[in-house]
Structure 1
């Protein structure tokens, strides 16, 4: 493999088209420079320069190699500065997991805040349920999660980003929309319900069953995504318990009603990270994070 000294020597000769001037430019004598070029041509396996007693010219292979040599030298010159930026958190990649529901609530403001704090860091996003995010944070495939509790506080550190209420999604014109009060459990006795999956959406499932004594005989569909639930409500397949941020989805044919006892804000979203931080960009972000809890 050729060395950077050989590349520098070749670039100097190629630009000067004169071994004497190139050697002077490199603060060396001509014989070792000539030997460098000969070794480089042997390594490359092609003649890069045509030379005689009167002139030096680039071959076709030499002209092509000159472009690549300049690119390699530029990369070599930038590499230390790039390494220093990454080590200080001023460059690199931050891999973030987010839940589907956070995608239409807090994700936008979070990305704005990241752009303010670490503008030179590339952001990679992955839409994942909380369980998948926790696994990714453990293996190092993710640096930061936007996830729901609970989680192991000995393993993960967190910051509360967002808190909101649960509401009831109903088809437009539904009789419950005529009530001049929040919806109670008794109002739902004979209503078909679209429920959260107790495995894939366990956080919301547990919230709902704590708030409302759901009659499982009334459950007509079980799904894992908020967007799917609201779409099924629009299709008049039933009613659904969803976080208030679902009201921003803008799906036609759906109304959202307050729930009795739902004035509090039980739905939480946390920024979550492994306490054993290895990504300098994440360390820098956490030092400067100014998310406001809503």
Structure 2
């Protein structure tokens, strides 16, 4: 099989149609160039040039090979550049999993910025619960997870990415919607929509624990696994609910969002999770991009 260097030698001779000028162009002497062309012709089993003492002319096979050789060298050059870009993380693919509430503000901003800075990185998104994400990370089906709990898995790192308060979503017709200073004592015996334990364990345990420790007993009318569905039920007047502040970007006609002072530590935490042994270069640049993009939102 011929080598790429032989293709370069051939193209130089085919362009110059003169061995002496081609050798000078290649910064080599004429005899080794002639030997390389002869070797290439032997490997191909065809004559590429018709030679006389005065002229060098491409044969029909040579003219065809001229086109093929240019294409092969171009593809080799592109392969080299793409390999270099991939090793630097500028090309490739990355899989990002996320909890639903991450899309309201954080994830769209990161994806848009990622596509702008790294247009040749394919970003695949998949919505999952926190538990499903840790399993996907363990099985290497996800590169980066946006989860609601820290990692307890060996080899999977996590750190707090966003720390935001909860806001109270209140039906517009409810009497609390008109109060300017709401406390958690106002929620006692009130109809309340809570995050489901099966899909939102961190929020469920945090909020129900807060109510118990303060002797507040809301009337839990529904346990729901989707922030959007919770807000839809609030909008229908079925009860009120705590949601992350970023969810207040979702506007409903009959919901009023109220800030409320909660005990210390009662906050909505979004964690970044990843395998420490992930050697995907695209993952590494996207991980840093996420950290830098959301750093101002961290407390």
When the two structures are superposed, what TM-score results if normalisation uses the length of structure 1? 0.73
Q: Secondary structure, in 3 states, of the residue corresponding to 1:162?
A: strand
Matched with 1:70 is 73
Query: What RMSD over aligned residues (CA atoms) do the two structures have, in Å?
Result: 4.1
What does the per-residue CA deviation read over 1:148-198, in whole Å, with 9 as the maximum and x for residues that have no partner? 11421653333222222223322323222133432546646352x433232
**SS of residue in 2 equivalent to 1:271:** strand
Alpha-carbon distance in 1 for matches of 2:264, 2:230:
22
Query: 8 Å contact 1:6–1:37 — kept in the other structure?
Result: no
Indicate conservation of the 8 Å contact 2:9/2:36, yes or no.
no
C-alpha distance in 2, partners of 1:49/1:252?
78
For 2:130, the equivalent position in structure 1 comes to: 130
Pick from 26, 29, 32 the counterpart of residue 33 of structure 2: 29
Counterpart Cα distance in 1 of 2:5 and 2:79: 12
Are residue 105 (structure 1) and residue 105 (structure 2) matched?
A: yes
CA offset digits 1:19-54 (Å, max 9, x no partner) = 5644554432324313304424x5xxxx79574645
Equivalent position SS for 1:230: helix
The alignment covers a number of residue pairs equal to: 283
Q: Which residue of 2 aligns with 1:278?
A: 279
2:227 equivalent in structure 1: 226
Q: Distance in 1 between matches of 2:288 and 2:261?
A: 38
- Alpha-carbon offset, residue 121 of structure 1: 8.1
TM, length-normalised to structure 2: 0.72
Q: Deviations over 1:91-124 (max 9, x none)?
A: 65554333221222333565689799x8688362
- CA shift at 1:68, angstroms? 1.6
Partner of 1:208: 207
Stretches of structure 2 lacking an aligned partner (at least 5 in a row):
none
Counterpart in 2 of 1:177?
A: 177
Over 3 Å counting, the alpha-carbon distance change for 1:93 and 1:232 in structure 2 is same
- 2:2–2:40 Cα contact (<8 Å) kept: no
2:248 aligns to what? 247
Other-structure match for 1:13: 13
State the alpha-carbon separation in 1 of the partners of residues 153 and 133 from structure 2. Answer: 15
> Conserved in 2, the CA contact under 8 Å of 1:198 and 1:205?
yes
Distance 1:133 1:212 in 2: 28
Aligned partners of 2:272, 2:132: CA distance in 1, in Å? 15
**Structure 2: how far apart are the matches of 1:128 and 1:78?**
35
